[in-house]
């Protein structure tokens, strides 16, 4: 996966938007105004990309124990976020699943009204 594929994949999610709320480097994908994926453009340029993704706390612990590439979220809540390094022991299919899981967690945390608005807008 390259940065363009990541970009397209994240924006293909219902209601997903892109932002740079922190600086010119940190690309953030949100749904309903809440973050589900963060990445550094500079890391992509230096061929050391990683993602910060939301994760169920119990599953986050399992993933961190199982994969070298998965760590507690950098600059994020260590309980609810993981940082996943690319080009390591997490393959592209798993990376996509982790992005989907993060999106789903955030989407489900939105109000029912917000969820409905996103569903209606996208249909």
pLDDT digit string (tens) for 61-97? 999 999 999 999 988 888 999 999 998 899 999 999 9
Predicted TM-score (pTM) of the model is 0.93
Please state, in angstroms and rounded to a whole number, the distance separating the CA atoms of residues 111 and 3. 31
For the chain, list the domains and their CATH numbers: 3-113 (3.90.1150.30)
Residue 121 has pLDDT above 80, yes or no: no
pLDDT digit string (tens) for 17-49? 999 999 999 999 999 999 999 999 999 999 999
Quick one: tokens of 106? Answer: 């955030």
* SS3 per residue for 54-83: ECCHHHHHHHHHHCCCEEECCCCCCCCEEE
């Amino acid at each position: 996966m390259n940065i363009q594929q990541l970009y397209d994949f994240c924006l293909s999610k219902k209601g997903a938007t892109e932002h740079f709320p922190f600086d010119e480097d940190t690309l953030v994908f949100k749904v309903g105004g809440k973050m589900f994926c963060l990445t550094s453009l500079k890391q992509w340029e230096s061929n050391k990309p990683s993602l910060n993704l939301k994760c169920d706390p119990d599953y986050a612990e399992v993933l961190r124990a199982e994969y070298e590439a998965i760590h507690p979220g950098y600059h994020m809540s260590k309980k609810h976020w993981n940082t996943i390094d690319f080009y390591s022991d997490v393959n592209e299919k798993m990376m996509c699943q982790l992005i989907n899981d993060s999106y789903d967690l955030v989407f489900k945390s939105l109000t029912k009204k917000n969820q409905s608005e996103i569903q209606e807008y996208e249909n």
